């Protein structure tokens, strides 16, 4: 079945550091890929998405490129801020599988001033 594997955390960084969170996927069809972010005490929010190979999603300085050849969707940000401290979830939705959203385990990121 469909699955998402993402880098285990927790990740602790200093402000202005570069952030990468690795995400790879397994899917039988042609999935759409997402990164969701969960701030403390809140629900998940969509951060960015990509719907086909080579698409790049971007938002709030974060970027991720849909790489079909490596089945990856790594999240990057060049200069993190304390406000980026959150849990990040990679996810996919495969339109051949009843449209269910499959999430990775989540990566906790803490940015220190």
Q: Strand, coil or helix: what is 64? A: strand
Q: Is 63 in the site for another protein (CB under 8 A)?
A: no
Q: Is residue 15 a contact partner of residue 111, using CB atoms and an 8 Å limit?
A: yes
Distance CA 110, CA 48 (A): 20
Smallest distance from another protein to CB 80, Å: 23
Q: Is 14 in the site for another protein (CB under 8 A)?
A: no
Q: Is residue 49 a contact partner of residue 34, using CB atoms and an 8 Å limit?
A: yes
Q: Choose the stretch contacting another protein; rule: CB under 8 A; options: 10-18, 68-76, 77-85, 89-97.
A: 89-97
Q: Is residue 66 a contact partner of residue 76, using CB atoms and an 8 Å limit?
A: no
Q: Is 101 in the site for another protein (CB under 8 A)?
A: yes
Q: Is 89 in the site for another protein (CB under 8 A)?
A: yes
Residue ranges that bind another protein, judged by CB under 8 A: 32, 34, 36, 41-46, 49-51, 89, 93, 95, 98-101, 103-106
């Amino acid at each position: 079945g469909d699955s998402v594997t993402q880098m285990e955390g927790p990740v602790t960084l200093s402000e202005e550091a570069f952030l990468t969170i690795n995400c790879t996927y397994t899917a039988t069809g042609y999935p759409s890929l997402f990164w969701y972010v969960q701030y403390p005490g809140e629900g998940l929010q969509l951060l960015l998405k990509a719907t086909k190979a080579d698409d790049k999603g971007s938002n709030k300085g974060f970027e991720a490129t849909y790489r079909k050849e490596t089945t990856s969707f790594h999240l990057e940000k060049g200069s993190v801020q304390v406000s980026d401290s959150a849990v990040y979830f990679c996810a996919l939705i495969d339109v051949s599988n009843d449209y269910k959203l499959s999430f990775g385990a989540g990566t906790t990121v803490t940015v220190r001033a």
